[in-house]
Amino acid sequence: MHVLITGAAGFLGQRLTRTLLERGEVNGKVLTRLTLIDQVAPVPPSDDTVRLDCRAMDITRPGALDSLLGERPEAIYHLAAVVSAAAEADLDLGMTVNFDATRSLLEGCRAAGLAETRLIMASSVAVYGGELPDTLDDMTALTPQSSYGTQKAMCELLINDYSRRGLVDGCVLRLPTIVVRPGKPNAAASSFASSILREPLNGEAAVCPVPTDLDLFVMSPGRVIDALLHAATLPGEALAPYRSVMLPGLTVSVAAMLEVLREVGGEEALARVSHEPDPRIEAIVASWPARFETRRAERLGFAGDRDFHEIVRTFIAEQTAS
């Protein structure tokens, strides 16, 4: 089994790589080859059982991926993207990276005849927005209120059409906000959702830019990786007629997240969070819905986190182990 990952140097890409190598198989087939690409070459993980190919590549260059696709990867994880706040700040950059590169990837699959290749794209809760019902499901209209959400929604449509036409075997996972991400803050509008836990637990200060009564729809990194791996195992017929799935996140308010921080890290941890409203961040994040009926995802075998305590405890355990 040859797996290709775009955006492999990113947080999800690195963790997916590590987990793939640990498991050594995908959908019952032995993992024999892993191609990792990103703007900067991904650091090769130490592994001598798999043929590893780490490349720096600008996937926005038309045809950039064509020669790799000619080697017929059997699963492609398309994780490369410009995050929400950056796509909002620069429309052209977002369109080029988030939309045009995905279209090029699909065209490359079509040209290489990769009808049987499972193409898995990470989409986002940001495809939703505007005047929404209290609880959403996979049949709620995508009326995004950000350019990032717009670009992801366009990619979803295209992946579905190319799959329907039998040009590729696509699957789109709409990811909840991932909490708690390890590492540093990034340009995503949702970056604070990890910062307000990670930094205080590590003895550092963090800023909460949104009102604490704001609800988020969240999933832990571990459950997201599980979902990405599970997506490689589902037959196309199970996903048809529409191959976009909202993953089963947890609905949790910022206040409830901070309460778990207090319980786990104590008052001194909670005191490290200062509240500085940022209307630009709030406008984006508040447009994302937080309540979903995800029975379809569960029927397809995707699983979420049990509760927010578990998410935070797992984060601490993973940080200690690494």
The smaller minimum CB distance to a second copy, of residues 139 and 321, is found at 139
- Give me the 212-251 binding string for a second copy, x by CB under 8 A, dash otherwise: -----------------------------xx---------
> Is residue 147 at the binding interface for a second copy, with CB under 8 A as the rule?
yes
Give the whole-angstrom CA distance, residue 200 versus residue 196.
7
Structure tokens belonging to residue 147: 């350019």
The smaller minimum CB distance to a second copy, of residues 132 and 256, is found at 132
Give the whole-angstrom CA distance, residue 307 versus residue 292.
15
> Is residue 130 at the binding interface for a second copy, with CB under 8 A as the rule?
yes
The smaller minimum CB distance to a second copy, of residues 66 and 259, is found at 66
Instruction: Output the smallest distance, CB 159 to a second copy, in A.
Output: 10
According to CB under 8 A, which one of 164, 262, 272, 291 is a site residue for a second copy?
164
Give the whole-angstrom CA distance, residue 51 versus residue 35.
8
Question: Restricting to residues 79-108, which ones interact with a second copy according to CB under 8 A?
Answer: 91
Name the 3-class secondary structure at 90.
coil
Give the whole-angstrom CA distance, residue 109 versus residue 162.
10
Return the amino acid letter for 64: A
According to CB under 8 A, which one of 160, 190, 191, 195 is a site residue for a second copy?
160
Report CA-CA distances (Å) from 57 to 9, 63, 67, 93. Answer: 11, 11, 12, 16
Instruction: Output the smallest distance, CB 285 to a second copy, in A.
Output: 16
**Alpha-carbon torsion angle 105, 108, 114, 118, nearest 10:** 0
According to CB under 8 A, which one of 22, 28, 48, 131 is a site residue for a second copy?
131
Cβ density class 112-145: b for 16+ within 10 Å, e for less: bebeebbbbbbbbbbbbbeebeeebeeebebebb
**CA 313, 317, 319 angle in degrees (round to 5)?**
115
> Is residue 150 at the binding interface for a second copy, with CB under 8 A as the rule?
yes
Residue given tokens 């929404």 in the structure block: 132
The smaller minimum CB distance to a second copy, of residues 71 and 161, is found at 161
> Is residue 133 at the binding interface for a second copy, with CB under 8 A as the rule?
yes
> Can 148 be counted among the known catalytic residues?
yes
Give the whole-angstrom CA distance, residue 199 versus residue 309.
17
Residue 203 gets which letter from DSSP? T
Residue 45 gets which letter from DSSP? P
Q: Which of 60, 57, 56, 142 is nearest to 99 (CA)?
A: 60
- Catalytic pick from 77, 128, 148, 162? 148
Instruction: Output the smallest distance, CB 100 to a second copy, in A.
Output: 10
The smaller minimum CB distance to a second copy, of residues 159 and 290, is found at 159
According to CB under 8 A, which one of 19, 27, 96, 143 is a site residue for a second copy?
143
According to CB under 8 A, which one of 154, 196, 210, 257 is a site residue for a second copy?
154
Instruction: Output the smallest distance, CB 143 to a second copy, in A.
Output: 4
- Give me the 246-285 binding string for a second copy, x by CB under 8 A, dash otherwise: ----------------------------------------
List beta partners, residue 314.
Answer: none
Residue given tokens 């190598």 in the structure block: 21
The smaller minimum CB distance to a second copy, of residues 59 and 172, is found at 172
Give the interface segment with a second copy, choosing from 15-23, 158-166, 169-177, 193-201 (CB under 8 A): 158-166
Give the whole-angstrom CA distance, residue 30 versus residue 41.
25
Q: Which residues are known catalytic residues? A: 148
- Residues contributing to the site for a second copy (CB under 8 A): 91, 129-133, 138-145, 147, 150, 153-154, 157-158, 160-161, 164-165, 241-242
